[in-house]
Amino acid sequence: MVAGPTVGVLALQGDFREHLAVLAELGAKGVPVRRESELDQVHGLIIPGGESTVMDKLSRAFGLAEPLKRRIGDGLPVYGTCAGLIFLADTVLDAIEGQQTLGGLDVAVRRNAFGNQLDSFETDLDVDGFDGPPVHAAFIRAPVVEEVGERATAIAALDDGRVVAVRQGNLMGTSFHPEITGELRFHRAFLDAVAAA
Ligand code: GLN
* pLDDT computed for residue 7 by the predictor: 98
Q: What is the predicted pLDDT for the residue at 182?
A: 93
b/e map 8-26, b = 16+ CB within 10 Å: bbbbbbbbbebbbebbeee
Q: Which among 82, 97, 146, 150 is annotated as catalytic?
A: 82
Q: Quick one: which atom of ligand 1 is closest to the CA of 82?
A: 8
Give me ligand 1 centre to Cα 143, in Å. Answer: 7
* 51 touches ligand 1 (CB under 6 Å): yes
Q: Which atom of ligand 1 is nearest to the CA of 53?
A: 10
Please name the residue whose Cα sits nearest to atom 2 of ligand 1: 51
82 is an active site residue: yes
Q: Which domains does the chain have, with CATH numbers?
A: 6-196 (3.40.50.880)
Distance between CA 113 and CA 20 in Å, rounded? 27
Q: What is the pLDDT of residue 86?
A: 98
Identify the pLDDT of residue 117. 64
Q: Which of 90, 80, 97, 58 is nearest to 142 (CA)?
A: 80
DSSP 8-state symbol, 134: P
What value, to the nearest 5°, has the Cα angle with vertex 109 and ends 13 and 127? Answer: 90
How much distance in Å is there from the Cα of 84 to the middle of ligand 1?
8
pTM of the predicted model as reported, rounded to 2 decimal places: 0.96
Distance from Cα 44 to the centre of ligand 1, integer Å? 22
Q: Cβ(50) to ligand 1 under 6 A?
A: yes
**pLDDT attached to residue 4:** 83
Long-range contacts of 58-63 (CB under 8 A, 24+ apart): 58/12, 58/13, 59/10, 59/12, 59/102, 60/100, 62/12, 62/34, 62/35, 63/35, 63/36
Please give the pLDDT value at position 115: 82
Q: What is the mean pLDDT of each run of 10 residues along the chain (197 residues)?
A: 82 98 97 97 98 98 97 98 98 98 98 84 96 96 98 97 97 97 97 96
Active site residue 19: no
